[in-house]
Amino acid sequence: MERAAVFDVDGTLVDTNHLHVATWWEAFRQAGHHVPMHAIHRAVGLGSEDLVAHLIGEHRAEREADALSSAHKVLYGQYFDRLPALRDAGRLLRRLDHEGWAVVLATSAGGAELSALRRAIGADDAITATASADDVSEGKPAPEPVEHALELAGVPPERALFVGDTVWDMKAGSRAGVCCVAVLCGGIPRADLVEAGAEAVYDDPAQLLASLADSPFARLPSER
């Protein structure tokens, strides 16, 4: 496979961003921090340590990041058996796989959380590889997650597209030299995604699937 379709997962393929907001908010509240939900929403997509530092400062994060992350994992884990895939997420991955794309996930999730997300999508047969938080030293917006996904697919940046839903996704993909496509289903405004590097924006996986023939995916033909 000489083309790679790299996908973020939370908020892009699975409708989990607001679950993350609520469970992070509760984790912060239990630790005595009053962090507004809108600020947490804008930080979703960062790795746990970076999210905590972004919201309460690096100094406090050095002391509290592990405990806050553990509390969030316990709270969020209550939803593992009912995480909702976004409409046509699995169909989109299967369509791309059928058309010869190497489908690779690039996500800050790992372990049991990643397994739950993959179960929700229900398209493991279409997924070539996964670059998870367990595989990289720096999360988004650093380019390493996307670069690792490209290594797994065995393709250069110019032969790949990256689909995500946050500013952090767009920055990571752009820094990796990959064309970025955004979806709005994570709740981030279109203008912010475009400013961060999105070359095209769709409502959700269903609209992207319906628009593939006119999307950036159509501008990257197979070399076969």
Contact criterion met (CB below 8 Å) for 52 and 65: yes
Q: Which residues pair with 77 in a beta bridge?
A: none
Give the model's pLDDT for residue 1: 56
Q: Which residues pair with 162 in a beta bridge?
A: 6, 180
Pairing outcome for strands 3-7 and 101-106 = parallel
Residue in the block written with tokens 């400062």: 57
For residue 2, give both structure tokens.
Answer: 């000489």
User: Cα angle vertex 89, ends 52, 98, to 5°?
Assistant: 125
Contact criterion met (CB below 8 Å) for 129 and 155: no
pTM reported for the whole predicted model? 0.96
- First vs last C-alpha separation in the chain: 10
Give the model's pLDDT for residue 224: 55
Q: Alpha-carbon torsion 2, 129, 172, 90, what sign?
A: positive
**What pLDDT, in 10s, does the model give residues 78-112?**
999 999 999 999 999 999 999 999 999 999 888 89
Output DSSP code: residue 142.
S
Contact criterion met (CB below 8 Å) for 185 and 169: no
CATH topology for 3-15+83-219 is Rossmann fold (3.40.50)
What residues in the chain have per-residue pLDDT under 70?
Answer: 1, 223-224
For residue 54, give both structure tokens.
Answer: 């972004």
Domain boundaries, the chain: 3-15+83-219, 17-78
Going by C-beta distance under 8 Å and a sequence separation of 6 or more, which residues neighbour residue 199?
179, 180, 181, 216
Q: Concatenated DSSP letters for 38-84?
A: HHHHHHBTB-HHHHHHHHH-HHHHHHHHHHHHHHHHHHHHTTGGGPP
Residue in the block written with tokens 């996986």: 205
For residue 219, give both structure tokens.
Answer: 């501008």
**What pLDDT, in 10s, does the model give residues 13-24?**
999 999 999 999
Contact criterion met (CB below 8 Å) for 104 and 7: yes
Give the model's pLDDT for residue 33: 97
